[in-house]
Amino acid sequence: MPNEFGYLEFARSLVLLGAGLSVGTILSVVLGNQLKDRRFVLVARRTMIGAGLCTVAAAVGLVFGFVNGAYERSYIFNYSEKGLPLGYKIAGLWGGLDGSILFWAGLIGIVGMITAFGFKRDQKDPSGRRLEPWVYLVFGVIQLFFLVVIAYVTNPFEHLSESIGLEAFNRNFPDGIVPDGNGLNPLLVNYWMLIHPPCLYFGWVVYTVPFAYAIAALVTGEQGNYWITKIRRWTMLGWLFNTTGIILGGLWAYVVLGWGGYWAWDPVENASFLPWFTSTALLHSIMVQERRGMMKAWNAFLATATFVLSIFGTYLTRSGIVSSVHAFGSGDVGYWFLGFLLFTIAACLFLVALRQPAMRSPHRIESLSSLEAMFVINNLVLLAIASCIIILTLWPKISNDFFGQALTIGPPVYNKVTIPFFVLLLLITAVGPAMGWIRTRPKALKKNLLLPALLAIPVAALVQFGAESIQAGENGALPWAKRLYPTYIILYAATLIVFSVTYEVLRTAQNRSRRTGTGYFEALTTLFLRNNRRYGGYAVHIGMAIIATGIVCSSMYRVEKHFSLAEGEQAKIGNYEITLDHVNMQPNADIENNRVYGFQALDLKIVPKIGGEFFMHPEKRLYPKKDGQVVTEVEIHRGLTEDLYVFFQSTNEEGRFNLVVYRNPLINLVWAGWITMILGGIYAALPLGRKRVGLAD
């Protein structure tokens, strides 16, 4: 068997060494607990760091294989080629099933090492010393699982002769040299491929830390707030990356897939969303434990549920039980993840049930008109949404396997089931700033909420009128029932969030100015700096309101038209006049790199009613290495109030070109809201105030 890249065999052996060190971590913890010997904990720390280093080094070795063109390796052969830019060669690490699991394991190794070094700094804390070995045990088990799967199931280092057979390899490559690879899927050759998967994976992997601390607290019966303080930072970090991964995935779908939207309730999209709900719930309920000493067992449950849902998402993506454009396909690896998932769920439920009585707080919720009550309702709504999504995602599989009925559940069903919960979530978010801890008097609640509630009525109507003016004369008017629900109701709830937060900030600054005798702006600045947890959290809530506005307007008032044009012909959509100015044909485009064989682009001249003309160039590309796969490159003209989106659908027998054109009003609010959420989350995490990390109190 040819082997010109010895470092890949070395990287392969590092996976086995890492698995051995993970076993050492587990045994060290068990022995240390039995013998009551602290030295075994130090051994566990070192073996866990060693396993992490081995895994990271193995992943780096595979990346070097991509960069150096080690096409004799099956995985590299299938996901790279000579003409691929360097960034996409590196992205090959997570571009397929085998490499993505190694990438995941490498991230676990990095996060585990950081966690271990953190314990080294905190080793004088009694709670930290009690929890430390069990955190290592959890990491050791997870690392061992992933490394065993990599070594014996997926194996991204497999030689091509092993996958296709030695005889076939010698027949196709008689000199033992594989000159080039098949290349990455053309749909993945997009700049978001370099950002979206790493963000999502890293967010999911970071949830391992809260999970490990929660299991450690449950095993030891830890009653203090040490572990909840530690996981708060990590949960925030995971939430930021999870949120970014979700939004960037929607943006990627929007610019690549050609249907004019960004979220289709695809099973794999759903899988990315599920841990977000439980981590969001955890970020809020953590504050209840910090402030009132309540919800300890519930927080442990949420931390474990978040990790379990990230593994569940991995199982969905890699098991083949759901049909998705994002799925990696099926194989034996699905059974491994299912077994690990079931084991984890059983262990978590057992520990939570075992410790729940001891973790009960003497405090109780005294009034529904309190902040802690709002957080509890918030948690229940978030879990209700996640539960509905899980059921709807799995129901086609259940229906087919257990009832023999083929079933497809599309976006209308998801929307009908989940929108009422999302509306309730927005309303709770809007009411929260008007609430206080323990009990809020009706008079105070009315004072804090009445003005924002009244102002939101006309402003929401104004936003709706603006979106309707874009759609005017297109596709028919939206029925009055849908204009009220969900459209106006969601816009009202989103607007109420903005006014409620703004009023609370202004009112609090004014009160502080009167109390301290300082100027208004000085008081406002002091509030932002001393309470960045609160006000960073409020920025996150405003970002969520902006996203909700963008989603409802771009969904309910989207305009879609189909045109069939010959060269020189015109069509009109709204205020835009479209002319097919020229057809650009290049049958041998980029043939030197053997990436794109056929190329067809339309030059569309767009003349808007207001503003100067511009050109758009939707394309079709043919990729021979991918069995003649044809990929359409959409063209998007972005505006402040709407996007003009053109999809080159096909060419008919008469030589006419079929286009699908969309007008997406206020869609850029979705991306603007995401930026607001991320900036707010980062600001909330800065060590500025007395409370160093968290979301809004």
Burial of 545 (0-12, 13-18, 19+ CB in 10 A): buried
Rounded to whole angstroms, how far apart are CA atoms 535 and 681? 10
Helix, strand or coil for residue 644? Answer: strand
Amino acid at 185: N
Taking alpha carbons only, the member of 274, 306, 129 closest to residue 205 is: 306
Rounded to whole angstroms, how far apart are CA atoms 688 and 697? 15
Helix, strand or coil for residue 567? Answer: coil
Q: Give the bridge partners for 71, in sequence order.
A: none
Strands 576-586 and 598-608, sheet pairing: antiparallel
DSSP per residue over 395-456, as a string? Answer: HHHHHHHHH-------HHHHHHHHHHHHHHHHHHHHHGGG--SS---HHHHHHHHHHHHHHH
Burial of 381 (0-12, 13-18, 19+ CB in 10 A): buried
CB 159 within 8 A of CB 74: yes
pLDDT in tens, 665-693: 999 999 999 999 999 999 998 877 654 43
User: CA dihedral in degrees (641, 247, 257, 263; nearest 10)?
Assistant: -80
Taking alpha carbons only, the member of 21, 4, 96, 85 closest to residue 56 is: 21
Rounded to whole angstroms, how far apart are CA atoms 319 and 394? 13
CA–CA distances in Å: residue 299 to residues 124, 250, 274, 285: 25, 30, 17, 7
Rounded to whole angstroms, how far apart are CA atoms 647 and 191? 19
Token digits for 625?
């290495």
User: CA dihedral in degrees (588, 592, 594, 598; nearest 10)?
Assistant: -10
The contacts of residue 489 (CB under 8 Å, 6+ apart) are: 423
Rounded to whole angstroms, how far apart are CA atoms 510 and 570? 59
CB 459 within 8 A of CB 495: yes
Rounded to whole angstroms, how far apart are CA atoms 509 and 507? 5
Rounded to whole angstroms, how far apart are CA atoms 153 and 163? 12
Helix, strand or coil for residue 247? Answer: helix
Order across the sheet with 657-665: list the strands: 559-565, 657-665, 642-651, 635-638
Rounded to whole angstroms, how far apart are CA atoms 497 and 431? 8
Taking alpha carbons only, the member of 660, 653, 641, 649 closest to residue 578 is: 660
DSSP H or E stretch at residue 260 = none
Token digits for 124?
């004088």
DSSP 8-state class, residue 159:
B
CA 697 to chain centre: 24
| Segment 219-224 long-range contacts (CB within 8 Å, at least 24 positions apart) | 219/134, 219/351, 220/130, 220/131, 220/134, 221/355, 221/358, 222/127, 222/130, 222/131, 223/296, 223/358, 223/359, 224/127
The contacts of residue 13 (CB under 8 Å, 6+ apart) are: none
DSSP 8-state class, residue 95:
T
Burial of 641 (0-12, 13-18, 19+ CB in 10 A): middle
Rounded to whole angstroms, how far apart are CA atoms 491 and 464? 7
pLDDT in tens, 49-95: 999 999 999 999 999 999 999 999 999 999 999 888 999 999 999 99
Q: Dihedral sign, CA of 33, 37, 41, 46?
A: negative
Query: What is the model's pLDDT at position 437?
Result: 85
Query: What is the model's pLDDT at position 47?
Result: 97
Q: Give the bridge partners for 645, in sequence order.
A: 636, 662
Q: What is the pTM of this model?
A: 0.93
DSSP per residue over 197-235, as a string? Answer: HHHHHHHHHHTHHHHHHHHHHHHHT--SSHHHHHHHHHH
CA 643 to chain centre: 24
Phi/psi for 565 (5° steps) reads -120, 145
CB 434 within 8 A of CB 500: yes
CA 21 to chain centre: 31
Mean pLDDT, the chain cut into blocks of 10 residues (697 residues total):
69 96 97 92 95 97 95 94 91 93 97 91 81 96 97 94 91 90 87 93 97 95 86 94 96 92 92 96 92 88 96 85 61 88 95 85 80 92 97 90 85 96 96 87 89 96 91 73 94 97 92 87 88 92 97 94 94 93 74 58 92 92 76 92 94 90 95 96 81 39
Query: What is the model's pLDDT at position 693?
Result: 39
Rounded to whole angstroms, how far apart are CA atoms 427 and 545? 10
Pure H helices in 531-581:
532-556
Verify cis geometry, omega within 30 degrees of 0, for the bond prior to 486: yes
Please, what's the b/e burial string for 581-605 (b: 16 or more CB within 10 A of its CB; e: otherwise)?
Answer: eeeeeeeebeeeeebbbbbbbbebe
Query: What is the model's pLDDT at position 326?
Result: 56
